[in-house]
Structure 1
Amino acid sequence: MSKFVPIALAMLGAAGAVSAQSQDQQPTPPSAEKPALGPDGKVVPQVLVNGGRPSDMEERRMSTAGKQVYGREELDRNGDTNLGDVLKRLPGVTIGGGRPGRGGDVRMRGLGSGYTQVLLNGERPPAGFSMESISPDQVERIEVMRGPIAEHSTRAIAGTINIILREGYQQRDIQVKTGDTIEQGRHSPNVSVTLPGKTGNLTYTISGMLNITRQHDSTFTHNEDVRDDGFITKDQEVHDESSGTSKNVHFTPRFSWKFDSGDTLNFQPFLMHSSRHGGLNSLLDQGTGIIAPEYVTADQQSHNTSTFLRGFGNWVHKLQGAAKLDVKFGFGLGKSDADSLRNQYDANGNLSDRFTDTDKTRDHSVNTGGKYSSPLGGGHLLAAGWDLEASHREQTKVSLDKNGNPQFSDSGDNLTADTRRAAVFAQDEWDITPQWGVYMGARWEGIRTSSDRSAGKVSNTSSVFSPLLHAVYRIPGFQKDQLRASLTRSYKSPNVQDLIALPFLSRLNSATRPDRIGNPDLKPELATGLDFAYEHYLGRSGIVSIGGFVRDIDNLIRRELSLQQTDLGQRWVSTPGNIGHARTKGIELEAKFQLAEIMGEGAPNLDFRSNYSRFWSSVDGIPGPDNRLDQQPKQTANLGMDYRFKPIPLTLGASYNWTPAIRVQTSLTQVVETSRKRVVDMYGLWKFDGRTQLRVSVANLLADDATGTNTVDANGLTSYATTLNPTYRQVTIRLETKF
């Protein structure tokens, strides 16, 4: 990556020189030649009045550090009931997990879990919080940043997705949305309400959502172990049937008080409570082999509850000139309880074993931060600030067999974990000329994690310094064209679970289903990145862009598999570790436009959206050709269209999301494969009037099966695990009303 640095700097310098020269050569605008004069003969100053926040496309265009903005138009388009379905259609964004409609972690540029930074109002959400569980009705806009900026944490190797919750100043009407999602004949009703208001200096928006989700899933797994001499030691078919009902409540008020001095105080709490009760029935059919099956039939009942409360606040104090001080404060509380009872039976129906598992986790956090910003002469906007955060976790995990014996040494003992994070940053956005803008920033961030458990005290300390450089060049004579380039330093820190997690025990333990433990000696992954893009803007909300990126990653974290002697005997165990260096690169294409803005009057009212990404990656020390970064596909693509009928108030739309099959050589001994993913969503929207509309949508129309294969070749044995997960169509009906 070091060879890219002088090239990038030379390109930026050359572009700046051309921009300055073009600025000198451009003719003076007529308005500058003949300024407006008042009755007294003096020049009348011209004032530009903007009625609110710039449009999504204008904000993207004017941002020096590349940022894509998706507001209410994109959030409302398909009538999605969870944010994950909105995110999966954005350029370069994918949702992890094998089944459409079942959620998963949010990913950018195909990179696996943890490489994408997801923020809620610019802050990291509390541990255990599922971002895609947020209702789109509670979100004002989504900001997608390909490269890190100093103001936010640089734990963003793949990029950052910032979820901005509802803001009061744009809401005028009471909005009520009621709906029902039907899957396999099971109904999942939901209702959301947004209530804005203003009393004196207080502006507020109260948003809430309630839903009940009923789901049923089937999983078919074929496990086979074969010795090097071809002898089959295990051949099993496992059929799991699971079902569950979840109840979720989200409450997101926002309050803003404007003082007479011009200062503003904002506060926005976020409360989420969920409860789920589920059941599982399992049938294990033993074929050939010498290994006795652990059970023949099994049943399991589980109950999970979780409550998260997060508060965001900031005070904006205006100083002399246009300078201001923005002081942030926040807190987080998390409580989750899970318990399950699993009974396993032999071929005669006799109880062979019983497992009782409970997990109680409590999280607390407080944070503060601030940013001082001031415009300086020569087009500079300087900002500097700090972030401080402290979090505490307490966890008690108990796992007992039918005789009441613990399944691991720490069973029943309390684990405490403390994390302290501190950061300072400075940045300067410099408009060198109307064509040429540069963002220069730097951020230092340190993290210390410590824990206390029966096995002893462990701690992990790391710090990262991240210099950042972004530039935009608006091509003279081509008002709608511009170039972007970035050179950045980012990182991925180990999460608490990877550092100090209590053991996770796998039923049917094998090389393809190992136990999982943590590693307190992990170091953060460090990445040097180069991003570039060409953007051509079309009409009011259209764009055609082509971009690319390179990331050099050191201290890559991978899970390593080993056969270990444990409290339960010899078992396969997965442990995270730093294995070395990797590189990923890719190209990203995007096109979106309204056909009428290109073809003029008389053109169909058709909106078109598409994006395509191609990724390459390699991990040193692992043989190719599939030595890719974990879970990264080679390609992703999205295609969407919306058609508005002229004679009747009807809009029809459809989108297609595609990810090809993935095959990754994760280590010298393991290969993981997943099937292609094709998701087709369609909707119809009928507007009765300006305040009431009915939306009908069908998600996952193709309902393709999701399949996968995990192969481990170690210790003279090759283990295969092949899974098949059926997926299902979802039909949603929503009535949306404004008062």
Structure 2
Amino acid sequence: MFSKYKLLLSGAFLLPAIVSPAYAAPVPVAPAPDAAPEAAAGSDVSAADIIVNAAIAFRNRTQDTNPVLSYDLDYFQRFEPVSVGEMLKRVPGVTFSADVLEYDGAQMRGLPPGFTNILINGRRAPGGEADRSFFVDRVPAELVERIEIVRSPTADHSSEGVAGTLNIITKDSAAFQGGFIKGGMLINEDGKVRPSGAAAYATEIGSASSFWGALNYQERRNPKKKVSDRYDGDLLFNNREIQNDTRDGSDLSANAEFATEFEGGGKLRLRGLYIDTDRDENEVSTTYVLANGDPADLGQLYKPGQSELAIDNEDDEGIETQHENIDQQTYQIAFDSEWPIGPGALGLEAAWNGYREDIATTVQVGPALDALELDERTFLNTKDDEYQGTVYYKYKGDALTLKLGVDLLDKKRDGSLLEEGEEDEPVAGALYAIKERRYDPYARLTYEPSAQLSVDAGLRYEITRRNVRTNVDGEVGLTASSKYDTEMLNPSFAVRYAPTEVDQFRASIARTVRRPDYDLIAPYRQEEEPNDDNILIGNPLLKNQSAWGVDVGYERRFGGQGILGINFFYRDISDLIDLVDTGVEDAESGLDIVTPMNVGDGKAWGVEIDFSTPLTAIGLPDTGIFANYTYLDSETTDPFTGEKRRFNNQPHHVYNFGFIQTVRSIDASFGATISGRSKALESNFDETIELSYDPDLELFVEKRIGKNFVLRGSVQNLLDRYKKEDFNKWDGDSVQEILDNRASGNLDEFEREREHSGPLFQLTVRAAF
């Protein structure tokens, strides 16, 4: 099996070298301009240019003073990503720690997802995660015009995003004219098929207005198989769990835009976005033990054959099933306008972002699939509304631009996690309501004396007023409440210097923040959590985590399209939040108090390199290569052990490289990309987890039919990559006892878990009109 995949991999990457000379030489190619125009919004492109296009797309060049990378849809589209998550795995410094074929919580620079700020059209996207992150796999790739990676912010944008900001720009009429329709199907290795379809249209209305509308529907299925071998503290075999985990669902999404300009220079735009996700997740887990024999006779870390095992029905619970019905909706309605007043322009913006989530989970156990009994049923509900507003005045002179403004936010988040039969007597913290208001005045000054030099400096003063309410144990009323106010001044400074037409240097420094997790700031009291002799108490007075960040980069252009970029980054992070065993006895319960606190500092640093170019210099203009590599490192002090370690789940290395080959004589293209990451470690007080993945190989081939049609086939996970996790677990009746066992090496359990899903094939046909 391994040799077959090695052969496929080698052949995929040798193919362009074999076929390129045969097809590239006869094709006349126009000379490349000295410098291609910078990426700019508002340039009309026909649908056929985007959908049916032989040209190879590379990373955009931007003239932003602060470090921003921009990738248009056509950089990703040939590999037919289903979601934004599948797009992001191809850009520098972004990785995931999710299951195979799932790309949900984006980790910029390897830091946990909560350190990355996710925007949709420049507006925060509320999500269902307690760490304030947004699962990017919910946004269909069909909606996207481009992805922006903002490595360091300016004063007129939120200071959130210690690791950086990912801005998802949806398609609009300014960058797209005409229409397209798409039909396709996703095919799993077991032959199951899921359909997809999309349609969009953009047109001008008169001479000053334009309209865009799009509708997308897709179904997705991910059948995963997981095997977990568990050993006792002496590393003798205990049991094996075999799990079939199938996620099956659909996404319905739509977006629309209307834009118009007025005489005298005023302009106005209305945008709307809707995403509905409906998923079913079914897990069937069977636990096996040795049918005969003594584990001590087999030696340490013995891996038995399946024929040596029998279902563990000692408690008639050898089989467990879990069904999750997940229903999620994301809404966005946004308005922005700009009006010339006096020597400058007045900007007015407003938006509503909504998120709804309902998850029903049913767990059944029994000795056989036809003898299952209900074990537990829970219901999770989240309702999140954010109302945003912006007022600014911008003056632009010959070399100076001054922007003064204020961003306003009114947020309300209600949530609950209830168990069937206990709705009237929920545990503490099961119900909560969070209100958060922000008032963020800012000033931004940009100085651009020439095309070679630009300097940007700004101040942003973020004022936050937060009120949190929750329930006490056994009551449904939100009677426990707490308020917290905070203010923070966040400066930013960036400089761009372009000594030649092909060279560009950037440097920036900015202060950024990460706000506390929702589930840590509610003032709840949960007895016997996280262990029997502890009481877990929420902390509504948690401060924002903050960071001073520096980015220094260089960019080199090659001819009309090629580009090489290198960026060094450093983050000095303060007031990190973690659970702490205070060692203090609670007067009411007599249990030791465990609570989240701002307890530590940390730092993260690394190097990001990206490269993409056609091979015109060696006579292969229809061969494009692209690559990126990121080296990551960090240091923080573990709040429980006092040891120095990296941030949880941060790999040292993240990479992606590949090629695209156009064969003009048959009007076709093909390509491949391989991506991967090094292993990472997650440390919690009661366990450590070593995480690694096999590389991921993707291929595509497409045939253009006339000027308006393209037929494309693609495959993900061709190497059938495995996710590998090794767990070391310690036990005890209290956090302190667990830490004592950990320090003395008294291991309770070792677990080795392996998961895979199989290749995913996709066929699509697109038509432009």
TM-score normalised according to structure 1 size? 0.83
Query: What is the match of residue 365 of structure 1?
Result: 386
1:438/1:529 Cα in 2 relative to 1: closer, same or farther (>3 Å)? same
What is the rounded CA distance, in whole Å, between the counterparts of 2:41 and 2:517 in structure 1?
Answer: 43
Does residue 688 (structure 1) correspond to residue 693 (structure 2)? The answer is no
Does residue 646 (structure 1) correspond to residue 646 (structure 2)? The answer is no
What is the rounded CA distance, in whole Å, between the counterparts of 1:560 and 1:156 in structure 2?
Answer: 25
The answer to whether the 8 A contact 1:346-1:352 is kept is no
The answer to whether the 8 A contact 1:60-1:66 is kept is no
Question: For 2:356, which of 314, 335, 359 is the aligned residue?
Answer: 335
1:88/1:351 Cα in 2 relative to 1: closer, same or farther (>3 Å)? closer
Question: For 1:161, which of 144, 150, 166 is the aligned residue?
Answer: 166
Query: What is the match of residue 468 of structure 1?
Result: 492
Query: What is the match of residue 7 of structure 1?
Result: none
1:114-153 map, 5 Å:
114-128=114-128, 130-153=135-158
What is the rounded CA distance, in whole Å, between the counterparts of 1:712 and 1:242 in structure 2?
Answer: 24
Deviates more, 1:84-93 or 1:715-724: 715-724
Query: What is the match of residue 193 of structure 1?
Result: 199
1:144/1:647 Cα in 2 relative to 1: closer, same or farther (>3 Å)? same
1:108/1:505 Cα in 2 relative to 1: closer, same or farther (>3 Å)? farther
What is the rounded CA distance, in whole Å, between the counterparts of 2:720 and 2:594 in structure 1?
Answer: 32
What is the rounded CA distance, in whole Å, between the counterparts of 1:504 and 1:685 in structure 2?
Answer: 57
Listed one character per residue, the Cα deviations across residues 135-181 of structure 1 (whole Å, up to 9, x for unaligned) are: 22211211111112112111111111111111212322211111111
Deviates more, 1:701-710 or 1:490-499: 490-499
Query: What is the match of residue 183 of structure 1?
Result: 188
Once the two structures are TM-superposed, the CA of residue 406 in structure 1 deviates from its matched residue by 7.9
Does residue 251 (structure 1) correspond to residue 254 (structure 2)? The answer is yes
Task: Give ranges in structure 1 of 5+ residues lacking alignment.
Answer: 1-49
Once the two structures are TM-superposed, the CA of residue 440 in structure 1 deviates from its matched residue by 0.5
SS at match of 1:76: helix
1:312/1:218 Cα in 2 relative to 1: closer, same or farther (>3 Å)? same
> Match for 1:648: what amino acid?
I
Query: What is the match of residue 91 of structure 2?
Result: 90
Once the two structures are TM-superposed, the CA of residue 334 in structure 1 deviates from its matched residue by 2.7
1:637/1:300 Cα in 2 relative to 1: closer, same or farther (>3 Å)? closer
1:706/1:490 Cα in 2 relative to 1: closer, same or farther (>3 Å)? same
Taking every aligned residue pair, what percent have the same amino acid on both sides? Answer: 21
SS at match of 1:308: strand
The answer to whether the 8 A contact 1:436-1:474 is kept is yes
SS at match of 1:170: coil
Once the two structures are TM-superposed, the CA of residue 311 in structure 1 deviates from its matched residue by 0.8
Query: What is the match of residue 603 of structure 2?
Result: 583
Higher relative contact order (CA 8 A, sep 6+): 2
Does residue 448 (structure 1) correspond to residue 449 (structure 2)? The answer is no
> Match for 2:213: what amino acid?
I
Does residue 729 (structure 1) correspond to residue 729 (structure 2)? The answer is no
What is the rounded CA distance, in whole Å, between the counterparts of 1:247 and 1:685 in structure 2?
Answer: 26
The answer to whether the 8 A contact 1:399-1:407 is kept is no
1:568-607 map, 5 Å:
576-596=596-616, 598-599=617-618, 602-607=619-624
Once the two structures are TM-superposed, the CA of residue 510 in structure 1 deviates from its matched residue by 9.3
What is the rounded CA distance, in whole Å, between the counterparts of 2:664 and 2:289 in structure 1?
Answer: 62
Once the two structures are TM-superposed, the CA of residue 224 in structure 1 deviates from its matched residue by 4.3
Question: For 1:390, which of 410, 414, 420 is the aligned residue?
Answer: 410
Once the two structures are TM-superposed, the CA of residue 107 in structure 1 deviates from its matched residue by 1.8
Query: What is the match of residue 300 of structure 1?
Result: 322
Deviates more, 1:204-213 or 1:257-266: 257-266
What is the rounded CA distance, in whole Å, between the counterparts of 1:574 and 1:675 in structure 2?
Answer: 31
Does residue 281 (structure 1) correspond to residue 284 (structure 2)? The answer is yes
Once the two structures are TM-superposed, the CA of residue 682 in structure 1 deviates from its matched residue by 0.8
The answer to whether the 8 A contact 2:58-2:612 is kept is no
1:309/1:52 Cα in 2 relative to 1: closer, same or farther (>3 Å)? closer
1:280/1:376 Cα in 2 relative to 1: closer, same or farther (>3 Å)? same
The answer to whether the 8 A contact 1:451-1:500 is kept is yes
Once the two structures are TM-superposed, the CA of residue 573 in structure 1 deviates from its matched residue by 11
Does residue 523 (structure 1) correspond to residue 530 (structure 2)? The answer is no
The answer to whether the 8 A contact 1:285-1:296 is kept is yes
What is the rounded CA distance, in whole Å, between the counterparts of 2:715 and 2:249 in structure 1?
Answer: 21
What is the rounded CA distance, in whole Å, between the counterparts of 1:710 and 1:685 in structure 2?
Answer: 43
What is the rounded CA distance, in whole Å, between the counterparts of 1:516 and 1:76 in structure 2?
Answer: 47
What is the rounded CA distance, in whole Å, between the counterparts of 2:408 and 2:93 in structure 1?
Answer: 31
Once the two structures are TM-superposed, the CA of residue 277 in structure 1 deviates from its matched residue by 2.8
Does residue 698 (structure 1) correspond to residue 722 (structure 2)? The answer is no
1:381/1:58 Cα in 2 relative to 1: closer, same or farther (>3 Å)? farther
Deviates more, 1:482-491 or 1:292-301: 292-301
Does residue 345 (structure 1) correspond to residue 366 (structure 2)? The answer is yes
SS at match of 1:245: strand
What is the rounded CA distance, in whole Å, between the counterparts of 1:332 and 1:385 in structure 2?
Answer: 21
1:496/1:680 Cα in 2 relative to 1: closer, same or farther (>3 Å)? same
Listed one character per residue, the Cα deviations across residues 412-443 of structure 1 (whole Å, up to 9, x for unaligned) are: x6422212122111111111444322111111
1:212-227 map, 5 Å:
212-226=219-233
SS at match of 1:208: strand
Does residue 102 (structure 1) correspond to residue 123 (structure 2)? The answer is no
The answer to whether the 8 A contact 1:385-1:425 is kept is yes
What is the rounded CA distance, in whole Å, between the counterparts of 1:275 and 1:432 in structure 2?
Answer: 53
What is the rounded CA distance, in whole Å, between the counterparts of 1:221 and 1:328 in structure 2?
Answer: 52
> Match for 1:84: what amino acid?
G
> Match for 2:646: what amino acid?
R
Listed one character per residue, the Cα deviations across residues 11-44 of structure 1 (whole Å, up to 9, x for unaligned) are: xxxxxxxxxxxxxxxxxxxxxxxxxxxxxxxxxx
What is the rounded CA distance, in whole Å, between the counterparts of 2:503 and 2:536 in structure 1?
Answer: 50
1:413-452 map, 5 Å:
414-452=431-469
Query: What is the match of residue 399 of structure 1?
Result: 419
SS at match of 1:300: strand
What is the rounded CA distance, in whole Å, between the counterparts of 2:750 and 2:724 in structure 1?
Answer: 13
> Match for 1:259: what amino acid?
F
Deviates more, 1:356-365 or 1:585-594: 356-365
The answer to whether the 8 A contact 1:626-1:663 is kept is no
Task: Give ranges in structure 2 of 5+ residues lacking alignment.
Answer: 1-39, 46-56, 129-133, 297-311, 473-479, 731-737
Matched pairs, number? 668
The answer to whether the 8 A contact 1:207-1:252 is kept is yes
Once the two structures are TM-superposed, the CA of residue 342 in structure 1 deviates from its matched residue by 1.7
What is the rounded CA distance, in whole Å, between the counterparts of 2:97 and 2:527 in structure 1?
Answer: 22
What is the rounded CA distance, in whole Å, between the counterparts of 2:41 and 2:276 in structure 1?
Answer: 37
1:256-275 map, 5 Å:
256-275=259-278
The answer to whether the 8 A contact 2:454-2:497 is kept is yes
Query: What is the match of residue 535 of structure 1?
Result: 555
Listed one character per residue, the Cα deviations across residues 527-567 of structure 1 (whole Å, up to 9, x for unaligned) are: 1111111211112222112221111111122356899999x
Query: What is the match of residue 375 of structure 2?
Result: 354
The answer to whether the 8 A contact 1:286-1:293 is kept is no
> Match for 1:79: what amino acid?
E
Query: What is the match of residue 3 of structure 2?
Result: none
